[in-house]
Structure 1
Amino acid sequence: MDKHLRHYLWEFKGPNSLLVIIVLFMAVMQTANGIGSANALTALVVGQFPKFLLWVGLMTAAYALYCGLMGVQQYQFSRCRQLMNTAIRRDITARLSNTSYEVFHSQSPAVYASWLTNDVHTIGVNGFYDALEIVESSFSVIFAAAALTAYHYSLSIAVLVLAVVVYLVPKAFDTSLQAHSLAMTHANERLMGRISDVLSGFDALNLLSLRKLLVKRTVAASNDVAVHVNSWQKMYGITNATIWGTSAICQNLVLLLTGYLVWQHLVPVGTVNASMNFAGLIFSGLTSVMSSYMDMKSIIPIFNKFDQVPVRDTAGLEKVAPFTTALQMHDITFAYSEESQPILKNFSLTVAKNKKYALIGPSGSGKSTVLNLLIGNLTNYTGTLLYDTTNYRQILPDSLIAQVTYLDQTPFMFNDTLKNNLTMGEPYSDTAVATVIQRVGLAKMVADLPGGLSTMVEKDGHNLSGGQKQRIVLARGLLQGRQIVFMDESTASLDPLSAQAIEEMIVTDPHLTVVMVTHHLRPVIADQMDQVINSTVFTTTHSVK
């Protein structure tokens, strides 16, 4: 069994142990039913009708109890599976939350959504369900083999030999099944990504009168995943057909041996019924075990994929204190890949506390790159970055980010109350919230809302204006004590009056350190800046103080 499956099964060992006990009693009842069937037939053949009725009654009771336990088992398995599915999602998101900015953005959110939905579902079906199948089938095989041995030792020997054959047959399909399973998970990731992409582009397609592309691209993405799902099912079908065919042959061989024993008067005639019943249980159980084993092997690449997400090494790194003096870039050179030209070359910049800076210049010239370096998102640079007097290489990334509020063109709003969008669920006092609301100019908006701070913010903040969303994001940072504000074209999509109001509110606040990236620096805002830096200096050896 894969180590990951063992980990989650053991994490919830209490509920899983109860499930195993239920399955054990189901196997006992199943075996009792089989023994009763064989004895009933023997009693009937020898003319002992009262015994026949007794055994039929016992069979009925055993089967009724088996059915009752089956209902309990299904509920308990669902409970265990949901606990383990949640734990997998917890661990995946914990890993993603502790990887670097660059690694996280190497995949689209749709890929991660596929991990947390499609892949977790696959693990539940091919992992946890099959683990249950193995336990259930193993109990059935053990009790059935013991029952057959009680009739004649040769039956158990035959079963043992044939069991080895059933075990060896599926081995030939291991590698191929794993490869097909991994290809299917990647196809599901592409499906999620393509559907998410085309649905997100609805407005653009609408304006281009190309809504038909919604259908065309969705069908194309669905056809891609269908190819890989069908390929996996084909391989799975071939494997199962081979396993079950081998099992059927083995059952018939045991039946032939039983017929010979009855013919030789070595066992009672009811043994034929027992042989058919228990041999069927044994070989169908072994087949189920091997089939489930193959399924479980197929999820190993999925877990390996999760494990390949690198986790940040934060050993020896230190938290930073609140900002006191300056952020400094010394001789920074940065390129997005080894093949591309540096977007920054030997560039230096000092951002002093409570000062205001504007970075201007054409799109793609590196302005946003400077912000992402200063906030610690980008780490593959040469040169030195300092927070006050501490080198960025020695800083816990989260503690650095905790000092900065980052405003971009599309501030993210959660589908939650306005208050929770401000506080992010942290227990700030009503006074602190009210003070920040007043400071960022949201007091009138909150007062005019029928529900006040309890008003629900719609998905993506559709019931808020762009300016209101900018103010909410700023308020989040101020509540957390962040006094550094990075503005990355944050007002570019706002109307001129709203944009200027937001910018003036921020750059005139004497307690904020501001770095603003903009294509359009308004004269009134430029007058408030301590320094305006043109991006033409980014690729020349230049120092900005």
Structure 2
Amino acid sequence: MNWKELFKLELFRFCLAISLQMIAAGGEVGVAYTLTLQFNAVKNRDLKLFLWWTVIQLICYALVFLFYNIASILWQKALQKYFHLVRQEITDHYFTDSHQHKVGSVQNRLTNDIKILHKDYFNSFIWVAGMIASICSVTMTLLTFQWALLIACLLLAVVQIFLPKLLDKPLQRATKKVSSANREYLTTLGDWLIGLSELRRFEANEKLFKTVAKFSGRLGAANVQKQKVDQELDYLNQLAYSLGDALIFLLTGYLVANNLVVFGLVASIGNFSAALFSSLQGIANYTGKMRATKKLREEILASREKITTTRTVNAKAPAGFTIHDLAIDFENGEGVVFPDIQVKAGEKILLTGDSGAGKSTLFKLLLGEKQASCGEIQYFDQNGTRIYPNLSEIGYLPQEPTFFPTTIAKNITMFNQKLDDGINAAIKRVEFASDVTKMPAGIETSINLDQLNVSGGQRQKIVLARSLVHQSKLILIDEAATMKILQNILTGSATVVFIAHNFNEEMRHLFDREIHL
């Protein structure tokens, strides 16, 4: 992320906003120049000329404020359009990279990280542009008065520009630390608040408060550290500014006393030096903040990288699969090695094994949600022909089904309107029709994720209906389905792999065979 991308995306607003910002900054110097002319008129006892320059000064003030405001509005509009595009690219990247991402990390990237760049990089950029214009205006104005003033200002400028670079690296580290601490804080909130009801049930509020306070404290400490470095940077800049301002005023007094410059410059030199040194201070400060975001901008650029998916138009719905030499390693150093397995089209498989044997992990590998460390998975159609799979057509009922804050119908069709006609048949087959008739708006009832208005059993039925309406030829069920619903599913032609811990002989007889991990 950088200003060049914004320039290409919003050429007109970018150029107009920068131009108005620079004109307004130059106008402030013009206001200071009129002060010189006003004091010259006072010295010459010319009231009419004094009033004339006063009117011009007021007009300049009005135009300066107007241009600053218009520039700010145009700049923010351009930025919001740009950030909207960036968020879309980040979301697309996370959607297609086939990795599991912590919700807190994604939230942090889409909100806090972009907010940091908004403030510390892009807003700094437009202010730097205005300050450059201010420096150029002051330079040309001082040159018209006396070249010695310009030389003195340039020497002091060198000191002020290079002094703050001493804090570049500490500021970069502080900015990175704030982003990391915020990501950890959001992740912690997501991990703990999702189980708030259980914590409340066991009265474990003290553990919740301590954990949240711990990570909140880290975020607070990171912000304090960044503020400390910012203040150190401001202190160095202010020190250089104050010394420079005093030296320029002394030099002006000397030049006026020797009739080398006009008397009115005594009144306005403070404004000129303030504009010059505050601009120099601002440039050093803002460019330091911009450089501090370099690492963060590189990370966001990587998060925006477009990923070319391997899906093709020839992808087909799988009905069977085989796995060979399949294994997966986890970050904690553990892993799972799977036996070679073949599941033919139409088979009904009972998948059993001890907890941690890899049953749910195998499902995630089949669905493409996890990537194997080695080995391969091959998919086949109903005729036993090897195919390139459309993994979205695999039916999946997890232990904790995923829903979206929209209607039951759309949660079943997953936003594919072409499947609307099959909803009624699907809900009847999973014995959900009677539940739907009792709901206020039937299948158009919206699911409330905060106060879930569907029971656990109803959630299972919705996901099973999702598999049926999509005509999945392969259905994976992870320990979630009543005996009656399971019997209905097993009477169909789809291939079914069912994970069960607690099962009896009656359930075992429903399946063609058992695979034990």
Q: Same fold (TM over 0.5)?
A: yes
Contact 1:99-1:309 within 8 A present in 2 as well: no
Deviation string, structure 1 residues 53-89 (Cα, Å, up to 9, x no partner): 0011111111122223333333333323322332332
Contact 1:412-1:461 within 8 A present in 2 as well: no
Corresponding residue of 1:466: 456
Partner residue of 1:246 out of 232, 240, 250: 240
Corresponding residue of 1:97: 95
Shift of 1:93: 1.9
Instruction: Give the alignment's TM-score, normalised by structure 2.
Output: 0.91
Partner residue of 1:527 out of 493, 505, 509: 509
Aligned-partner Cα distance in 2 for 1:203–1:337 = 29
Aligned-partner Cα distance in 1 for 2:315–2:190 = 40
Corresponding residue of 1:332: 326
Corresponding residue of 1:44: 42
| 1:256 aligned partner, one-letter code | L
| 1:74 aligned partner, one-letter code | S
Corresponding residue of 1:18: 16
Shift of 1:265: 0.9
Secondary structure of the structure 1 residue equivalent to 2:324: strand
Deviation string, structure 1 residues 263-316 (Cα, Å, up to 9, x no partner): 221211111233221221111111111111111111122223335569797577
Q: How many residues align?
A: 513
Give the direction of change, closer, same or farther, for the CA distance of 1:151–1:236 in structure 2 (3 Å limit): same
Aligned-partner Cα distance in 2 for 1:28–1:43 = 23
Shift of 1:467: 2.2
Shift of 1:159: 2.2
Trace 1:269-348 onto structure 2 (pairs within 5 A): 269-307=263-301, 318=312, 320-323=314-317, 326-336=320-330, 339-340=333-334, 342-345=335-338, 347-348=339-340
Give the direction of change, closer, same or farther, for the CA distance of 1:146–1:427 in structure 2 (3 Å limit): farther
Aligned-partner Cα distance in 1 for 2:343–2:304 = 32
Partner residue of 2:492 out of 506, 509, 514: 509
Aligned-partner Cα distance in 1 for 2:211–2:452 = 26
Aligned-partner Cα distance in 2 for 1:271–1:310 = 53
Aligned-partner Cα distance in 2 for 1:315–1:130 = 37
Point out the more displaced range, 159-168 or 229-238: 159-168
Shift of 1:124: 1.0
Corresponding residue of 1:374: 366
Trace 1:146-295 onto structure 2 (pairs within 5 A): 146-295=140-289
Aligned-partner Cα distance in 2 for 1:312–1:349 = 35
Aligned-partner Cα distance in 2 for 1:287–1:165 = 11
Aligned-partner Cα distance in 2 for 1:310–1:518 = 40
| 2:491 aligned partner, one-letter code | T
Shift of 1:363: 0.7
Deviation string, structure 1 residues 101-157 (Cα, Å, up to 9, x no partner): 3xx34xx21122122222111111111111121112122222222222222222222
Shift of 1:339: 4.3
Aligned-partner Cα distance in 2 for 1:38–1:475 = 81
Corresponding residue of 1:135: 129
Aligned-partner Cα distance in 1 for 2:284–2:410 = 51
Corresponding residue of 2:352: 360
Shift of 1:463: 0.2
Contact 1:126-1:296 within 8 A present in 2 as well: yes
Give the direction of change, closer, same or farther, for the CA distance of 1:531–1:482 in structure 2 (3 Å limit): same
Secondary structure of the structure 1 residue equivalent to 2:440: coil
Secondary structure of the structure 2 residue equivalent to 1:353: coil
Give the direction of change, closer, same or farther, for the CA distance of 1:177–1:245 in structure 2 (3 Å limit): same
Aligned-partner Cα distance in 1 for 2:363–2:355 = 14
Shift of 1:428: 2.5
Trace 1:79-118 onto structure 2 (pairs within 5 A): 79-101=77-99, 104-105=100-101, 108-118=102-112
Corresponding residue of 2:62: 64
Secondary structure of the structure 2 residue equivalent to 1:329: strand
Aligned-partner Cα distance in 2 for 1:239–1:480 = 60
Contact 1:405-1:477 within 8 A present in 2 as well: yes
Contact 1:99-1:310 within 8 A present in 2 as well: no
Aligned-partner Cα distance in 1 for 2:94–2:279 = 40
Trace 1:447-462 onto structure 2 (pairs within 5 A): 447-459=437-449, 462=452
Shift of 1:34: 1.5
Point out the more displaced range, 227-236 or 516-525: 516-525
Corresponding residue of 2:466: 476
Deviation string, structure 1 residues 394-440 (Cα, Å, up to 9, x no partner): 998xx642221221111111122223323333332642444444444
Shift of 1:325: 5.8
Contact 1:28-1:143 within 8 A present in 2 as well: yes
Aligned-partner Cα distance in 2 for 1:436–1:486 = 17
Secondary structure of the structure 2 residue equivalent to 1:402: helix
Contact 2:28-2:61 within 8 A present in 1 as well: yes
Give the direction of change, closer, same or farther, for the CA distance of 1:60–1:395 in structure 2 (3 Å limit): farther
Contact 2:327-2:372 within 8 A present in 1 as well: no
Give the direction of change, closer, same or farther, for the CA distance of 1:143–1:353 in structure 2 (3 Å limit): same
Aligned-partner Cα distance in 1 for 2:370–2:150 = 66
Aligned-partner Cα distance in 2 for 1:173–1:208 = 49
Shift of 1:21: 2.8
Deviation string, structure 1 residues 8-28 (Cα, Å, up to 9, x no partner): 443233322232132133224
Secondary structure of the structure 2 residue equivalent to 1:118: helix
CA RMSD of aligned residues (A): 2.6
Aligned-partner Cα distance in 2 for 1:337–1:275 = 65
| 1:520 aligned partner, one-letter code | N
| 1:131 aligned partner, one-letter code | F
Contact 1:437-1:443 within 8 A present in 2 as well: yes
| 1:344 aligned partner, one-letter code | V
Corresponding residue of 1:518: 500
Contact 2:7-2:14 within 8 A present in 1 as well: yes
Secondary structure of the structure 1 residue equivalent to 2:325: strand
Secondary structure of the structure 2 residue equivalent to 1:328: strand
Give the direction of change, closer, same or farther, for the CA distance of 1:213–1:484 in structure 2 (3 Å limit): same
Uncovered stretches (5+) of structure 2, i.e. residues with no partner: none
Partner residue of 1:74 out of 72, 75, 87: 72
Partner residue of 2:475 out of 485, 499, 502: 485
Shift of 1:175: 1.0
Percent identical: 25
Contact 2:460-2:480 within 8 A present in 1 as well: yes
| 2:359 aligned partner, one-letter code | K
Shift of 1:39: 0.8
Secondary structure of the structure 2 residue equivalent to 1:428: helix
Aligned-partner Cα distance in 2 for 1:256–1:118 = 47
Shift of 1:327: 0.8
Corresponding residue of 1:401: 391
Contact 1:145-1:278 within 8 A present in 2 as well: no
Corresponding residue of 1:35: 33
Deviation string, structure 1 residues 152-187 (Cα, Å, up to 9, x no partner): 222222222222222111111111111111112111
